Structures are given as structure tokens and as C-alpha cells.
Structure 1
Amino acid sequence: MNRRNSAAEDRRVIAATTIGTAIEWYDFFLYAAVAGLVFNQVMFGQLDAGAATIVSFLSVGLSFLFRPLGAVLAGHFSDRLGRRIILMVTLIAMGGATTAIGLLPTYDSIGLAAPLLLVFFRIIQGISAGGEWGSAVLLAVEHAPVEKRGLFGAGPQAGAPAGLLLSSGMLALMNVIAPGDAFIEWGWRVPFLLSIVLMFVGWWIRRGVEESPVFEEMTGMAHSPLRTLLRDHWRKVLIAALVFAGNGTVGYMVAGGYIQSYASTQLGMSRGTVLWAVTGAAVAWLVSTVFAGALSDRIGRRKTYLGGFVFQFLAAAALFPLVDMRETGWLWAAMLLLGVALGLTYGQQAAMYAELFPTPVRGSGTSLTYAIGAILGGAFAPTIAAALVQSTGSTYSVTVYLCVATTIGFLAALSLRDRTGVPLTAN
């Protein structure tokens, strides 16, 4: 392949992994945001307000328990069959489940079947999310020149804030089109139904991408990648999972919908104001994610992580004190500060994970490590935050919780060797 064709293929890979991952995260984050704004009323409204909010956020966290299943399946088959085919399967599964949620009747219409079906579709989302990430980042990183792995890997990483930006923006728009009770009655459904259109867009973009060259040249493939991974690399899996947990615990205050629910319900701030501030946070997260990926190519993954966690600690400490001021300007300041911090502990993750594991188990290693980190970090962070506020009457305990999680992420990153630039076909 000549240089021009290689550059063109690089652009296709970055577009396919970034846009496709953004669509998947749009679906995933959309549920989390609506859980605290709508589902606690229309799906779990038979409970009192506090309990309904906690149970609604539990349904968000429940899907994380099924991410390892998706990670194991996708990791195994991506190591056996390739990265590309897994990305097509996860995209269709996620889009189908999200569209189905948009059509789901409420508790008042079909009773207990409504929350049960809602949880079922959320589980499908969790399995899909568990399988999507590892295959997407490996396709990007394994196509990348060695000196640009962080930047290429930041593409699918940027899909997460892009998905948050798209989902928050759509909800903010629908809050204008269908204000007040109309949003609760039907407005929230439109962004879910849009998923079927986005699913076909993602499928069209991904169908022309070539398989990872590292996978095609792979020799000595493990007969059972998961067994080999857990036998030979379990320490790296656990430590790298804690690195992501340090990011995810803080990130899911926004991505998991807790700030949206807390600021609009308990502080009485305008729902539209909160959604637009979260949209701003997504933009900041997106930009700093790409910056962190590129920076890690210059100074290494480990140094980028350590500096990022220091910044995240400050942002986590300031988050609720600023939000609790109930002023739009301070809410925006808190959201933008948090968005920048999240990107600085997220953009380099794809390249770091890919460089941690040898080629025959790389798909299983990245997928499973990410899924475990999501459970340890983001899975029940909104539920824990809601329970802490309800039991203490203050957000101070949540601030301590976020700062402790950030410190754990810092120590985990500190304990890992920096493998920036290691050959992907020989490690």
C-alpha cells in the first residue's frame, strides 16, 4: 500500500472508530441522563421520590455488571475473528436496544412489565458497551504509527464525550421543543428513537474499514485468550482497571446522570440550564481527551496520567461546592473544570491498554480490564452519591468519595510501567 492510500485508510479508521463509538455512547449516556430526569417518574413512580431516584440509578449501574460478559465475548472473538466484525455486532445491538426503550410503555400503561423491560434493554446496552470499546480502540491503535498511538487512540476515546455532547444536546433541544410536562410525556422518547438512524449511519461508516494489520499478521494466537490472560496477566488487569476506575467514578457524576438529577431536582435549577451546562462539559471533555492522547505521545502515558489525576483531584474537590451555589455561572465553571479533568485522565487510556498486553490476548485484555474498571468506578457511582446525600443531607461525603477514587487512580497509574512505544507485534 502506498503512502497516500495508507493515509486515506488511517482517516477511515479514525472516522469509523470515533463516530461509531460516539453513537454507541450516545445511546448509553442518553439512558443515564433520562434515568434521573424521567424514568424515576414514569417507570419507578410507584416508589417515593427518593427511593425512585435511587432505584432508577441502580438500573443505570446494573448494566455495568454485564459489561464483563460483553467484554469476554467480544475480547475472545476479536482475538479469534478480528476487531472489525465485533464493532458491527455491538453497534446493532446497542442501537436496537435504545430504539426499543424509546417505544416502551410506562408503568401506568403496563405495570411492572415496564421497568422489567427497561432493565432488560439496559442489560443489552451493557453487554454491547462491554464489547464495543476494546475492539474500537485496538482497531485505531493497531493501525497507528508508533509515534501517534496516543492520538489515534484518542479518537475512539473522544467518542465518549462526543456521545455525551450529542445526548445532552438532544435532550436540551427537546426540552425547548417539548417543555414542562410534554418532556415527561413524550419529549424524552425522540432522542431514543433517533438511535435507529444513527445506527445505520455508524454501520455505513464502519463497513468499509480494513481489519487491523497487527491482527492480520498475528502469530502464536492463544487457543483460549481469556484463560491465558487471567493466568499470566491478572495483576496488570487489576491495576489498569483501578486506573480507569479513578476516572470513571468522577466521570459518572455527569455521564451517569447524577448531576443532572441533583441540580434540577434537589437544587431546583432549570432542567434546560443544567442540560446545557452538561453539554458544555462534554465539549471540554472532548477537547482535553484529544489533547491528552497527543500529549502522551510526547511525554508518555504514565506522566500524562499522573498530571491528569492531580488536576482531576482539584476538579472533584470543587465540583459540589460550586454546584451547590445554585448559580448558572458557577454550575458552568464546575462542569467545564470537570470536563477538562476527565479528558486528561481518559485520552491516553486506549494506547496505554493496548501497550500493556501481548498481541494474542490484547483484545481480551483491553476489553476485560475496561469492563472491570467500569464496575469498580462508574457502575454505581450515581447510586452511591444519591444514597450518601440522602443519608447525610450534604454533598461533602460525595466530594470525599470522589477524591478518594481519584487518589486510587493516581496510585494505580504510578505503579504501572510506562510502555509507551513498545512494539505491538512483539510484546
Structure 2
Amino acid sequence: MTTHIPHKEHSEPVHDEGRRLSGQDAKTLSLSALGGALEFYDFVIYVFFSTVVGTLFFPSDMPDWMRNVQTFGIFAAGYLARPLGGVIMAHFGDLLGRKKMFMFSIFLMAVPTLLMGLLPTYETIGIAAPLLLLLMRVLQGAAIGGEAPGAWVFVTEHVPRRHINFACGSLSCGLVGGILLGSIIATLINAFFSASEINDWAWRLPFILGGVLGFVTMYLRRWLHETPVFAEMQARKTLSEELPVKRILTQHGSSVVLSMGVTWLLTAAVVVTVLMTPPLLKQVTGIDAQLMQEANTISIVFVMIGCLVAGFMADRFGAGKVLALFSLGLAITYGIFYSSMLKATDHVFSLYALSGFFVGLVGVVPGIAVSSFPAAIRFTGLSFSYNVAYAIFGGLTPMGVSFFMAVDPLAPVYYIAFIGVLGVMIGVWATRRAQAHA
């Protein structure tokens, strides 16, 4: 018979609340961030080589537009697989242990990434080539669906509660670092190999590298320990044995809404500001692609810095207040940056870096979401909310912004301004919830 913990956010095992961050905490944070960075690298490297992949894995006589649709359709399949994979892994993480699923998620990412680098092309095996590529992408999506929520839960149940936001900010910094690593590797591949070499074989290198590094990280993660919170719940027999999605939706609806709301902020900040802005500005202004890539790289570095600063501030002033501040800062700085680029590109590096810093609000998001659910169903609650929201908003945002760009080139600015206002409102709500449960 399942024993439920009381329906209150913080009625859970307490683990050395007053202590400082220890060397073991630093080890846990570094290995978790490293694994997260490599998993996100594995997940996004496909984008950087999508043109080559589309050429090699689909018929040569296929129209370009159809090949692009097929190629990015396979990319999108990874997003669609996130919720199911995340919820299933989260359930077993709540039942069998955080560490087991933390190890399994990186294994599930490393294997298909390595195999993607070894797959035969359409010319060799025909239609089986894109089908195998699709299967690998689905497995990657399932893995990434469990990795980010698993990492956030894992570290927050290791560190003292007063350092939870900095821990989550450090992890978010690592995840963004995976995107940066993908950009750097793609740049190096294009710099050291000719177009014919890349098409022949060099495109495989980043996938093989990602798979190998994933296995290395998996080996390193074996030295991590199960979280004290899970171990105590296991000893007290307060684990949630059923698949608790129904319980989450019926008993913790407000937590689901809050977690989905902050995930919406995260997807908008990353997808629009970091991923979509370079091609959109190139399309609208004709800015040099190399200049925009360099500015984007600098902006990503400042996103990582912003994650750490936001996490540090949130532990001292409250996550809700910092989320509201950074949301407002992002709305203002991105508006100034984007509108300025429509007139001149003289300050592209400084303005893009400044807006990138405020994208660091993603460092506060996991701390708010993790703290919304009680320990027995925390992994499942966070994974369900995060992955469903990411699948919806991560998938619809690019299409929506691109559609309204045809009406007004300032569409990205309006959307981020809306997100800024939404972030302030969610920040106020999160602050009041935290005070109510203090």
C-alpha cells in the first residue's frame, strides 16, 4: 500500500539545511552540469549539420523544400518524444532512485548519438536510412526529456535548501554550455574540412564525438551518490509507487501551471533570443552571417554568466523577485538590441551580450519549478510540466514568430515584451507562494 506524504510543498526529509556547500556538493554540481552540457550538445548538433544530413539521408531528386521539411520533421520528432520519455523515466526516478535514471538518461542519449554518426546513408540502404535516423532522434528526445528534470531534482536534493537556486543556475549554465559547444564544434568542422570532405565523412565526427563523450560522462557519474532525500523516503517507505500523473494533475494543479509557466519563459528566452535571432536578423537586415555568428557566441557566454548571477541572487533575495527583475530586463534590452539592428549594427556585440545576460533568467526557472512539488512526486511533477510545456511552446514559438514576421519585422520584440510582462506576473505569484509556505 502506498503511503503519501502530507500535501504541503516542504513537508519532506530535511538534509543539513544550515551547512555550506561542500566539496562533495561541488563534485555533484560539476558532474551534473558536465553531463547536461554533453546531452544538450548531442541533442542540438543535428541542427548545425541539418543541411548535410538532409542531402545524405533523402533521395537526391527530392525537391529542396520537401527535403527541408523532412529533415526538420525528424528534428522535431525529438521534441515530441520528450514528454513521454521524461514522464516514464521520472516515474522510475521517483520509485527506484534519482541516480539510476540520471545514469540511464545519459546512456540513452550517448547510444543513438554515436549510432547517428555511423549510420549508412540513403545511397547505401535506401528508405531505411531516414527511418533509422528518425528512430535515433526519438531516442534522443526521450533521453533529453529525463535529463534536465532529473539533473535539477538530483542536485537540489543534495545541496542545502538555501543554495538550491545557485545549484540550478549552475546546471542551467551547463545546459546552455552544450549549445555553445555545438556551435564551436560546427565552426571548427567547417574551418578544417572542405565542403566535399564534410559531405563524404567529416559530418560524422561531431556525432561520434558526442557519443564517446557521453560514455565518458556516464563513467564519471558512477561516483555520484543517491540523494539524501530519496534515501530517507526509501527508508521511511514514503515513495509514490503508482504512476502519479493523475495525482499531480488533481492535487497539484497550481504547481503544474506554475512550472509550465516558467518553462514557457525559458523556451521563449532561449528559442527566440539565442536560436532564432541570428537567422531572423540576417533575413531582415542582410547582416553578415559570420558577424552574427560571432555575436551570437558572445551572447551565449553571457547567458551562462547570467544563469550563475541569477541563481546566486535568487538564494539571497528570492527566486520570484529575481525572475521578475530578469524578465523585465530581457524585455527592455532585447527590444533595444533588435530595433537597433534594424538601423545599424555598430553595437551588435555589446547589445546582444546584454540581452543574453538577462536570458540568464533560465537559471532561476528550475529552482521555482523543483520547489513546487513534494519530494515523493517531485521528479514526475517537474518532468511532466517541463516537457509538456517545452513540447508545446518550443514547437509553436518558431512558427508563430515566423508567421507574424511577415506582418511586422518587430514581431520578435513584441513577443519577448509579452514574455517579460508574463515573467513579472509569474515572479510575483512565485514570491507569494514561497511566502505562504515559509
Could you say which TM-score interval applies, normalised by the shorter chain?
Answer: 0.7 to 0.9
Inter-CA distance 42–286: structure 2 relative to 1 (3 Å threshold)? same
Contact 2:42 2:211 in 1 (8 A): no
Taking structure 2 as the reference length, the TM-score comes to: 0.84
Please state whether the residue corresponding to 1:124 is helix, strand or coil.
helix
CA RMSD of aligned residues (A): 3.3
Distance in 2 separating the partners of 1:54 and 1:278? 25
Inter-CA distance 382–408: structure 2 relative to 1 (3 Å threshold)? same
Structure 1 stretch 106-115 or stretch 137-146: which is displaced more? 106-115
Please state whether the residue corresponding to 2:418 is helix, strand or coil.
helix
> Which residue of 1 is the match for residue 239 of structure 2?
221
> Which residue of 2 is the match for residue 347 of structure 1?
363
Please state whether the residue corresponding to 2:349 is helix, strand or coil.
helix
Inter-CA distance 202–322: structure 2 relative to 1 (3 Å threshold)? farther
Q: Does 2:376 align with 1:360?
A: yes
Structure 1 stretch 184-193 or stretch 197-206: which is displaced more? 184-193
Distance in 1 separating the partners of 2:67 and 2:339? 25
Distance in 2 separating the partners of 1:187 and 1:333? 34
Contact 2:20 2:160 in 1 (8 A): no
Contact 2:259 2:382 in 1 (8 A): no
Give 2:428's aligned amino acid.
L
Q: Does 2:397 align with 1:381?
A: yes
Distance in 1 separating the partners of 2:206 and 2:173? 20
Distance in 2 separating the partners of 1:52 and 1:258? 21
Q: Does 2:271 align with 1:252?
A: yes
Q: CA deviation at 1:30?
A: 1.6
Which residue, 401, 414, 426 being the options, matches 2:428?
Answer: 414
Inter-CA distance 182–406: structure 2 relative to 1 (3 Å threshold)? farther
Give 2:418's aligned amino acid.
V
Distance in 2 separating the partners of 1:109 and 1:276? 37
Please state whether the residue corresponding to 1:170 is helix, strand or coil.
helix
Taking structure 1 as the reference length, the TM-score comes to: 0.86
> Which residue of 1 is the match for residue 258 of structure 2?
239
Structure 1 stretch 134-143 or stretch 222-231: which is displaced more? 222-231
> Which residue of 1 is the match for residue 313 of structure 2?
295
Q: For 1:142-179, what per-residue CA distance to the aligned partner results, in whole angstroms no more than 9, with x for missing partners?
A: 11122211112222221211101111111111121124
Inter-CA distance 204–123: structure 2 relative to 1 (3 Å threshold)? same
Which residue, 114, 118, 126 being the options, matches 1:99?
Answer: 114
State the structure with more CA Rg: 2
Inter-CA distance 338–325: structure 2 relative to 1 (3 Å threshold)? same
Q: Equivalences for 1:161-180 in 2 at 5 Å?
A: 161-180=176-195
Distance in 2 separating the partners of 1:393 and 1:8? 54
Q: For 1:163-212, what per-residue CA distance to the aligned partner results, in whole angstroms no more than 9, with x for missing partners?
A: 01111111111121124454455443321110122112211221001111
Q: Which runs of no fewer than 5 residues in structure 1 stay unpaired?
A: none
Inter-CA distance 57–340: structure 2 relative to 1 (3 Å threshold)? farther
Inter-CA distance 66–111: structure 2 relative to 1 (3 Å threshold)? same
Q: Equivalences for 1:21-420 in 2 at 5 Å?
A: 21-35=36-50, 37-39=51-53, 41-43=55-57, 48-49=63-64, 52-53=67-68, 56-107=71-122, 110-180=125-195, 182-218=197-233, 219=236, 220-224=238-242, 225-253=244-272, 257-259=275-277, 261-262=279-280, 272-318=290-336, 320-321=338-339, 327=345, 330-333=347-350, 335-343=352-360, 345-389=361-405, 392=406, 395-418=409-432
Please state whether the residue corresponding to 2:40 is helix, strand or coil.
helix
Distance in 1 separating the partners of 2:126 and 2:284? 27
Contact 1:142 1:213 in 2 (8 A): yes
Structure 1 stretch 76-85 or stretch 59-68: which is displaced more? 59-68
Distance in 1 separating the partners of 2:129 and 2:39? 23
Please state whether the residue corresponding to 1:209 is helix, strand or coil.
coil
Q: CA deviation at 1:387?
A: 4.7
Distance in 1 separating the partners of 2:436 and 2:23? 25
Inter-CA distance 100–402: structure 2 relative to 1 (3 Å threshold)? farther
Contact 2:328 2:423 in 1 (8 A): no
Q: Which runs of no fewer than 5 residues in structure 2 stay unpaired?
A: 1-14
Q: For 1:381-408, what per-residue CA distance to the aligned partner results, in whole angstroms no more than 9, with x for missing partners?
A: 334444555xx27633343334334443
Please state whether the residue corresponding to 1:290 is helix, strand or coil.
helix
Q: Percent identity?
A: 25
